[in-house]
Amino acid sequence: MENSFKYNTNESIALEEKFGYRTFYDYYPIEGWLMNCCLKKDRDDNLDIHLYFVEENGEKFKLKIKFYPSCTIETLDNFVVEEYLLRKYPQCINKIEAVKKYDCEEYNYINNGPKDMLRVFMNIESDLKTFIRDIREIIFDNRSRESEVLDDFNEYENYDAKYFIKKLHEYDVPHETQAMIDLNLRCGSWYRISYDGSRYDFDKMERSKKPVLKILAYDIETAKSQLRFPNDSKDPVMMISVMCDTTGYLIVNRNAISCDINNFNYFPTDDIGSKFVVFNEKDEENLLVRFVKIVQEYAPLIITTYNGGIFDFRYIDKRLQKYKISFYDLTGYSGNKEYFNCSFMLHLDCYKWVKRDSSLPLMSQGLKTVCRLRLNYEPEDIDPEDLMRCAIEEPFRLAKY
């Protein structure tokens, strides 16, 4: 599965504990707001669903529940097929359950009612992939026999048991989705959780108030060559601005900025702004380490950026690699071509919301334009080709930018 990843159990637990998560194993019930779920794979390819909760006072805890990947098979005779599967895949199958399911591809399926099917649970994901491949081949071969009508069990005797496999269902449902359906859980809802020593029970609570959510927002400013887009292979980060609740931080790379920046207040409007504490770091490496320390010490539940999934996170990750520092090992954040995220500390890219829901034209979706049109204030604006000059000649203007 593409969005599950292998992890070192001890390192993962240590990092989550560093960010304030404790694993809940107590016998007394606990109430929590489900923030996120994530599927993780250990070194033996076993899958676990990790559930991250927040208590009303902001305290955090997590649950780890074993997950067995599955698919559903429609058959002509469940008993015959179940016996055949258990005999053919004794080491791969965890269990088989009889279930009732609608075949949504069937005409008038609601009036026809649900069908008796078999849900097959496998021990590991690779076993499921092999199983699905085998079953699809069997179904393909069986299509040539569809014209033969089998009216009673006596007619089955001359057939191999695999001939009774008719259809494959729910083999492409994402594992996280399947796990949440099985557990009947939804992110953003409150649950009362109890543990009996072997399994967790979840009771949904009718509560609309959200818990205390610690949010960190940040933005980076990088060096660049004239008429070129910033290159994370050679252009250093010059500044990082960070906002935590009502306190702001500005981290300055003194190798790129001509002088120290003092602490300052920035209030573009009466209700937007903060006092900014400035860290004047001697070089880019120290700037990046300072940023990581702020993230670790504040331990937010959510990090917000503007186009950070494509640019900011990726840029910081690449620049840290230059100094042989792993962003993932320190914060849990990793990414692919489309997004950067962390299982226990969500990334909310505001640009995705603007692009989808703001109704702003394409050329008006930049951060400065959005501030002007949606937050109703005029931000400090500097032409991108003038940034390097400002870093030397007008560092205070660049700091407010």
- 42-64: per-residue pLDDT in tens? 888 899 999 999 999 999 999 99
Residues 183 and 226 in one domain: no
Residue 374 binned pLDDT confidence (cut-offs 50, 70, 90) = confident
Q: Helical H runs in 20-124?
A: 78-88, 109-112
Residues with Cβ < 8 Å from 277, sequence gap 6 or more? 247, 248, 249, 250, 263
Task: State the chain's mean pLDDT as an integer.
Answer: 88
Residues 197 and 223 in one domain: no
Residues 80 and 56 in one domain: no
Residues 369 and 247 in one domain: yes
Is position 16 within any domain? Answer: yes
**Strand ranges of the sheet holding 93-101, from the earlier edge strand across to the other edge:** 93-101, 115-122, 70-75, 165-169
**Strand ranges of the sheet holding 346-349, from the earlier edge strand across to the other edge:** 264-269, 272-281, 247-253, 237-244, 215-222, 302-305, 346-349
Average pLDDT over residues 95-115: 87
Residue ending a domain, choose from 172, 192, 227 = 172
Average pLDDT over residues 196-213: 91
Residues 265 and 277 in one domain: yes
Q: Could you read off the pLDDT of 341-363 as tens digits, one per residue?
A: 999 999 999 888 888 877 777 77
**In the structure encoding, which two tokens stand for residue 238, read together?**
């010059």
Write out the residue range of the structural domain in which residue 86 sits. Answer: 70-172
Average pLDDT over residues 268-292: 91
Residues 320 and 396 in one domain: yes
CB of 130 within 8 A of CB of 30? no
Residues 75 and 64 in one domain: no
Instruction: Measure the N-to-C terminal CA separation of the chain; round to a whole number of Å.
Output: 42
Kindly report the CATH number assigned to the domain that includes residue 235. 3.30.420.10
Q: Could you read off the pLDDT of 138-149 as tens digits, one per residue?
A: 998 887 766 554
Provide the number of structural domains found in the chain: 3
Separation CA 23–CA 4 (nearest Å): 20
Residues 82 and 149 in one domain: yes
On the question of pLDDT at 155 being above 70, the answer is no
CA distances from 104 to 75, 112, 119, 124 (A): 16, 11, 16, 27
Residues 123 and 97 in one domain: yes
Separation CA 80–CA 376 (nearest Å): 69
Kindly report the CATH number assigned to the domain that includes residue 94. 3.30.70
